[in-house]
Amino acid sequence: MAEALLDQLLPALRSPLGALAFVPLYALWVTLLLPGVWASMLAGALYGPWWGSAVVFVGACLGAEAAFLLGRGWLRQWARRRLAAVPRLLAIEQAVSREGLRLVLLTRLSPAFPFSLLNLAYGLSEVSLRDYSIGLIGILPGTILFCGLGALAGDVARFGEVLSGQADATTWTLRLVGVLATVGSVWLVGRAARQALGADSDA
Amino acid at the residue 18: G
| Number of Cβ within a 10 Å radius of residue 183 | 13
| Number of Cβ within a 10 Å radius of residue 90 | 16
> pLDDT at position 22, please?
93
For the stretch 140-196, pLDDT in tens is: 888 888 888 888 777 545 544 444 445 555 555 555 555 555 555 455 545 554 555
For the stretch 93-120, pLDDT in tens is: 667 666 678 778 877 877 667 787 788 8
pTM given for the model: 0.72
CA separation for the pair 25, 14 (Å, rounded): 14
Task: Estimate the crossing angle of helix 169-202 against helix 101-109, to 10 degrees.
Answer: 140
> pLDDT at position 57, please?
96
